[in-house]
Structure 1
Amino acid sequence: MADNTAAKIEADASEIITSPRVEVGTRGVNRVDTVYASIMDAMSNGEFPESGRLPTETELAQRFGVSRPTVREALSRLRLDGLIASRRGSGSFVLRRPDRNIKRFAPIESLADVQRCFAYRIALESAAAGLAAELRTPRDLDEIARALEHLDRVREQGTLGVDEDLQFHLAIVRASQNIFFVTALEMVGDQMRVAMQLSRSLSLERSKVRREVVQAEHREIVNAIDKGSSVEAAEAMRLHLGNARRRLFEGPQSE
């Protein structure tokens, strides 16, 4: 089972490293990011309605003045977000309209960086959680348990809890006993705060059930680490962060 975990980690890292090269404008603007944000904005404002078919890759390329591979990569990101789906021979269709409240908390063009940060964290933190299950000390388990209790308090009080969320994830990475994992996560601390601020601000406007689901996912990670199952811990972290990325773009209609 350890081999399966290593294979998943390697596949995640490979996906990030070997992702297609993107067009960059004269000012260093990533054109995939621009197309991604523009399509999401059109979905959010209803120009591309829910259940409707998106324009073809060729039409989108002409609309945004980019190549088809650039459009293809932007659509791939939207599929990862759970916002669109492709049907063979029919094109891409809108599964759900992004929450219009996203614009209140973050510029829509920044969402590409949020998405990239989630991809990075899924690869990094799932590996760290697996190691934490194998190498955690009693002190590590105490720190993780305290961090989970703080998140429970945040959920009960209905407060934002960005710092508590960040400390929970850092406690798990520290339990991996690998300073490189800790340093790697701390390097994107600011980006994590942006994503957590956005996610948690939106969650406060949604149902209490949604917040309980998130905390249940945290608890599954802790339980797997506590019982020493590296495979379950890695998968629980992967599931949690993948769900967090999808939840970010789900509006109240998804409750």
Structure 2
Amino acid sequence: MSSSHVIPAVRRTPPALGETVQYVVDTLTMRIVSQEYGLEERLPSERQLAQDLGVARNTVREALDQVEAAGLIRRRAGSGSFVTFDPEGAKESASAVAAETGPLQLQVMRGIMEPEMVRLAVISMSPRQIEALGETLSQMEAVQVDAMAFVRLEEEFHRQIAAGTGNPLLIACYSLVLDARRQSFRAAMYRRHLTPERIAAYQRGYNSLFNAIAARDIEQACEFMKLGLIEDQKLLLQDG
């Protein structure tokens, strides 16, 4: 499993700026958080970025305004734009957020993200990504009694769906959700409630979800994702 990058909150580009500006914002953000452009490194000039991304210089300039407002760069008159994003500091901040997230808060966030995440994945996943998802499902279906082994595979299954969206911001945000899911309260909850019978029920649900994704059936995939959330909600209520 590849290391994940944590992306800080980026102010959404106002709709009036257009999709092209948002594309440049997303591209620069991903390059910065992946450390293609390291801390204190000078970004390419506006002209170079415009040529690289196939956009106008004024589009790059507007995008840089947004990236600077998000605290990822600092622009120096006559010198250019320099990266201020510190990945180590971001990781520490993300870990703190995950640690402070309670069970119900996590469930609310999952309810917001996961149905839309699977919707985008159904549209965007490549055949190879769907094949890899099927391989993870096969490993999940081989688990009979080991609750924590099942949970680890379940998280990998969700991570692959997030990766299948092809959206770097969504992938990074969902990485934080997974961090919160690994908290001790959830591990304890599964040790108490994830019986072999319940594991089998979850396996059937994930099989249905995978089949919907493979069939590119958006409505069914979203429905099965929501049903999985309901099952987790039931566990939380039992634990309460």
TM-score for the superposition, normalised by structure 2? 0.53
1:69-88 matches, within 5 Å, as none
Aligned with 1:125: secondary structure? helix
Residue type matched to 2:216 in 1?
A: G
Percent sequence identity over aligned pairs? 20
1:55-94 matches, within 5 Å, as none
Task: Determine the structure 2 residue equivalent to 1:176.
Answer: 165
> Quick one: distance in 1 between partners of 2:122 and 2:190?
27
> Quick one: distance in 2 between partners of 1:189 and 1:134?
22
Give the drift of 1:167: 0.6
Return 5+ residue gaps in structure 2 as ranges: 1-98
For the 8 Å contact 2:147–2:191, the answer to whether it is kept is no
RMSD between aligned residues:
2.2
Aligned with 1:160: secondary structure? helix
Task: Determine the structure 2 residue equivalent to 1:139.
Answer: 128
Greater Rg over alpha carbons, structure: 2
Residues 1:120 and 2:128 aligned together: no
> Quick one: distance in 2 between partners of 1:241 and 1:143?
23
Task: Determine the structure 1 residue equivalent to 2:206.
Answer: 218
Residue type matched to 2:111 in 1?
A: I
Give the drift of 1:190: 2.2
Return 5+ residue gaps in structure 1 as ranges: 1-109
Give the drift of 1:137: 0.6
Task: Determine the structure 2 residue equivalent to 1:242.
Answer: 230
> Quick one: distance in 2 between partners of 1:112 and 1:137?
33
Question: What stretches of structure 1 move > 3 A for 4+ residues in a row?
Answer: none
Of 190, 214, 217 in structure 2, the residue corresponding to residue 200 of structure 1 is: 190
Aligned with 1:188: secondary structure? helix
For the 8 Å contact 1:126–1:237, the answer to whether it is kept is yes
Residue type matched to 2:190 in 1?
A: R
For the 8 Å contact 1:122–1:237, the answer to whether it is kept is no
Give the drift of 1:111: 11
Give the drift of 1:157: 4.7
> Quick one: distance in 1 between partners of 2:175 and 2:100?
20
Residue type matched to 2:228 in 1?
A: H
For the 8 Å contact 2:209–2:221, the answer to whether it is kept is yes
> Quick one: distance in 1 between partners of 2:172 and 2:101?
23
Give the drift of 1:243: 1.6
Of 153, 156, 173 in structure 1, the residue corresponding to residue 142 of structure 2 is: 153
